[in-house]
Structures are given as C-alpha cells and as structure tokens.
Amino acid sequence: RAAAVQKHFTGALGADDFMLRLEKALFAFGFAGDNSIAMVNLCRDEVTVSLKHRIEQIFGSSFSTNGLGGVLTCGVTGLGAGFSHSPLCSSNKERYVFFSLPHISINSRGEVGPMSRPGRPGQSCACGALIKATNEIKSEGLTCNSKVPGVHDFADPEMSVLKQRIARRLFHEGATDESVQGLTLVDVTKVAERTISDDLEHLISQTVDTSKADYAVITGVQVHNWAYEFEDDSPNLEFVASTSVYVVVDGVKAHLDIAAIPPMTPRQMRRVAGRAVVCERGGD
C-alpha cells in the first residue's frame, strides 16, 4: 500500500513517522508545543482531522484557516488573528508553525480518488472539491475559468476562488484548453498544492514581522490510504507527502530535510507503545 502512494507521491511518509521527525527537527530550532501556535490550512473535509489531531498532539489547539480544497481565503486579517493568539517566549518573541496541505485519497486498492467513509455505503471520494474543479476545468476550458483575481461567485465563494486559482496557475504554467484534457486528479492536486503554497508565502510576506516572530512552514499533500470498505479489517492509513519544510529564525531561512532525520528505532517504538514502568514503593 505504501508503494501505491509512493508511485504518485515520491518520498511520502506515514503521518505518524512524518510528525515524529518534524517535531524533532523543529525543536532543534526552538519550536515546541508550549511556545508556538500551529496555523493549520487543510481542506474542510472532516477526514483531514486525522492530520489535524496529530498536529495538535504536538502544538496544542491550532488556529484554522481551512477552505474547500485547502484554498486560502482568510487573508491577512485571518492570519493576523491567529498570530495574536500565539504564546510569547522568554525573549518576547512569537512563534508560528504553518501547515498547508490539500488532500487526496489513494485507497487500499491503489485507486486514486475513491474513499470509504463511516456509515456511508459504497465509495465516496477525496478531494471532492478538487475533483469538481478538475471536471469543470476540462469541460469549460481554462479561459472562462481564468478570471481576474478577486472575482468570485457570491453564492459559492470558496469553490469559485479555488477553481480560478488553479485555472490561472495552469495557464501560467503553459497549459492549454487541449492539454488540460489529460490532467489527472494527482496532477490537479499537485497544482493546487503549488498554488496554495505560493498564496501562503505571499500572505506571510505581508503579515509576519521577523523582528518579532520566528516561523516554520510545512507544505505538501495529505494522502488518505484507507480501506476499500470502511468496516473491513484493513487499517486506514495516513501519509504526508511534503514539498517544503523550512524555518525562519531571527530572519534567517533554513530548509529542513525531513527524510534525512532518522525515525525511531524498533526499541524506541516498543518503549513508546508499551506500558510505563512505575515505581510502586520506596527503596530499602
């Protein structure tokens, strides 16, 4: 199953493994749960909470900037609100940890898109918003969807912004009405990630004062590798395919190679998963 995920997202790690390595890497630069706020941008889909829970196990309650497909619509005011909730460290600095990941399903059979859900017979999908955007860009073409930035459908704001941002990105990357016919969901998910990550970078440049705050950025794709039938015996697995992990401390940027950070050894894993040894009486 991991090979099926790796086929489309080279370098993807199990979500628990990824978060363990990330926690160690960020701690080396001063980011920890008691001095940082996690700024989490995922899709609104409830299945993304599996990653959010892992983030909050490290950093505590997060500030959400979620949008359909992971589209960023909170703007500078939204980010600023999250910053104002950050802990202050001893140097009076704030620390922000940005997570931004659209998501996709690659189920236990290796099928891209279909996804089982609790209490719902048959196959659902993920990401529904990106599947809809893919289908409409193919059927309607790039031109009519590459609207001027800021124009959106009042009755469907997030979806219309998501679709036009993807369409404009495709156009600027050289796609045509003809070439988009061959796009897959994996292709569009990767385009969405690049688009949303660039939007986040722009918002950070407009809002973060590096003389008053350090920050970290983690971007990529959340991959659900769930069982074909939700109630069967196969486990529901989660992966993270990161595209960029870096920190900016005292205004200096440093890129982090999460894959180069060793995972826990088998002994450490057994130790963490096993029962704690508790001293039940005093010494002689």
- Summarize pLDDT for 47-73 with one digit per residue, the tens: 999 999 999 999 999 999 999 999 999
- Summarize pLDDT for 140-192 with one digit per residue, the tens: 999 888 877 777 888 999 999 999 999 999 999 999 999 999 999 999 999 99
- Which residues sit opposite 246 in a β-bridge? 217, 255
**Which two structure tokens, joined as six digits, stand for 264?**
């826990």
Tally of helices (H runs) and strands (E runs) in the chain: 8, 10
Q: What is the Cα–Cα distance from 70 to 41, expressed in whole angstroms?
A: 6
What percent of the chain has pLDDT above 70?
A: 96
All residues at 6 or more sequence positions from 190 whose CB lies less than 8 Å from its CB, including other chains = 221
- Summarize pLDDT for 250-273 with one digit per residue, the tens: 999 999 999 999 988 888 778 767
- Omega cis (within 30) before 279: no
What does the DSSP 8-state code read for residue 177?
T
Q: What is the Cα–Cα distance from 133 to 144, expressed in whole angstroms?
A: 13
DSSP letter for each residue of 130-173: HHHHHHHHHHH-SGGG-PPTT---TTSHHHHHHHHHHHHHHHHT
**Which two structure tokens, joined as six digits, stand for 64?**
């959400």
pLDDT of residue 271: 74
pLDDT band for 201, please (50, 70, 90 cuts).
very high
pLDDT of residue 263: 86
Distances from the Cα of 221 to the Cα of 115, 159, 179, 184, 239, angstroms = 16, 19, 23, 15, 8
- The answer to whether the CB of 107 falls within 8 A of the CB of 225 is yes
For the ranges 129-133, 216-220, 271-275, which has the lowest average pLDDT?
271-275
pLDDT of residue 278: 47
